[in-house]
Amino acid sequence: MENTLAVILEKSERLGKTAVEPEKGETDVNESNDCVDSTEDEPNTRGILNKNKIYGGYNGDLNPDDSERNFDGSLNIYRMAQFLEKQQTKNESERFVKSIWPEVRIESDLKRKGIQIKGLPDGAHKFKVYLDNSWKLVQASDVSFFYKLRQIQRALIQATIPYDLWPVKFSLMLEGDFQIIQKFIDNTVASWPQALEATFQLMDWHGTMRRPVLQFARLSPFQSEGYVNFAWRLRTAFQELPRQPHFDSAIRDMLFETVKTYMPSDWSTIQSKIRMPTAQLVEKIVIQAGIIAQMPVE
């Protein structure tokens, strides 16, 4: 288990690093941007915690404080200027956010379901949705963020709020550390993927995107805790993990080590099913824990 945790810690340290060399289709900040379209080549979809420069960074025609992206490719959440979103940039942003949070619903998802994309300018006040105060985002260190985000998105869909109004409704749930994201949404009229990218970026600055992984690695039963309760906590901890490809194999290793160490009876039954998708395997662990708990004690 300690070896697995060491691997995670090592990977976590790497994820905060960004490349300094310009890649294909990117513009070095020391070179001229004349006649360069940095979005022509294939987009970078490697994820927020491991992201290199994209979109060309600083645009020499703008004040650096109003550029769309920072020099390292991160979103400039302090800018006041609005930008007409290019289709290439839009596609990249959507893919990028999905790589962090696969449950996100984007415009194409909603069109297939027949959900309205744009609201009437003079009828926006008619679109109401109930968002529970417990879903508010206040501290960037809150590891229950993905649970809250899931509830907010579900409520927006159920209330049939037009897609282009989602960022505005979302901004009403932002306080404390997230006030800068609220201002970013208001100032730039950000799209739903842009609002989420800005939020993920802020959380990464606070180290929150990696914290659930470390907590999952250190998970152990409380004193006298039963199989079922520990299995439930294991599932909850798994569901709060950011869905990062960098962590997939390591998370499975941690899961196996945890079950082997603390749930040996469970492991003897599920080890033949380890080729299952991880989420399905976690559910099997919970089910098996319930079966074991009901067995009579000899």
The pLDDT tens digits of the residues spanning 48-69 come to 445 444 444 444 445 556 667 7
Q: How would residue 160 be classed by pLDDT, with cut points 50, 70 and 90?
A: confident
- The residue among 135 and 7 whose pLDDT is bigger is 135
**Residue limits of CATH 1.10.1200 in the chain:** 211-294
The region that residue 237 occupies, defined by phi over 0 for left and psi between -120 and 50 for alpha, beta otherwise, is alpha
For residue 239, the model assigns a pLDDT of 79
Q: Inform me whether the pLDDT recorded for 39 exceeds 60.
A: no
For residue 2, the model assigns a pLDDT of 53
Please compute the mean of the pLDDT values over residues 201-218 and round it to a whole number.
Answer: 82
Q: Identify the CATH number of the domain defined by range 211-294.
A: 1.10.1200
Among the residue ranges 16-20, 248-252, 286-290, the one predicted with the least confidence is: 16-20
Q: Inform me whether the pLDDT recorded for 144 exceeds 70.
A: yes
Q: In percent, how much of the chain has pLDDT > 90? A: 17
Q: Inform me whether the pLDDT recorded for 262 exceeds 70.
A: yes
Q: How would residue 151 be classed by pLDDT, with cut points 50, 70 and 90?
A: very high
Q: Inform me whether the pLDDT recorded for 221 exceeds 80.
A: yes
Among the residue ranges 104-113, 116-125, 271-280, the one predicted with the least confidence is: 116-125
Please give the C-alpha separations between residue 253 and each of 47, 172, 216, 228, 247, in angstroms, as whole numbers. Answer: 21, 39, 11, 21, 10
Distance CA 222, CA 44 (A): 42
**What interhelical angle do 227-239 and 278-294 show, nearest 10?**
170
Q: How would residue 121 be classed by pLDDT, with cut points 50, 70 and 90?
A: very low
For residue 131, the model assigns a pLDDT of 92
For residue 275, the model assigns a pLDDT of 82
Nearest CA-CA partner of 286 in 228, 243, 207, 242? 228
Alpha-carbon Rg for the chain, nearest whole angstrom, is 22
* In the block, residue with structure tokens 């596609």: 91
Helix or strand or coil: residue 63? coil
Q: What is the rounded average pLDDT for all residues in the chain? A: 73
Burial of 65 (0-12, 13-18, 19+ CB in 10 A): exposed
Q: What is the pTM for the complete model shown?
A: 0.58
